Amino acid sequence: MEELLLKTDLPRPLRKVLPKNTIESRLDAIDAEVRSNLYHSLENEKNEEIMNRLISEISSQIEDCLTKVAEVVEIPLG
């Protein structure tokens, strides 16, 4: 997203109002705020809930991969 905003072709008057340095510093501040919020929510959520969610997601992905592999190596018998 940062690259997209920095590469966007802005009209000259808008570029003078919002210099590149201002945009970059605001993006850095947003990034730090998002990171801080993530850490804060991870600290406050129940660890067990997070682990159960991670285990569920990983198990689902492994099951999907094994199913795809089984379909690829399946040998028709007739």
Q: Where are the domains of the chain?
A: 1-44, 46-78
Q: Cα dist. 61→56, 64, 72, 74 in Å? A: 9, 5, 17, 20
- CA quadruple 52, 53, 57, 60: dihedral positive or negative? positive
Provide the 3-class DSSP secondary structure of residue 36: helix
Give the burial class of 23: count Cβ atoms within 10 A of its Cβ; 0-12 exposed, 13-18 middle, 19 or more buried: middle
Q: What's phi and psi for 8, nearest 5 deg?
A: -65, 135
Confidence (pTM): 0.37
**pLDDT per residue rounded down to tens, the chain (78 residues):** 556 656 666 666 666 666 677 777 777 788 888 888 877 777 776 677 777 888 899 999 999 988 888 888 776 655
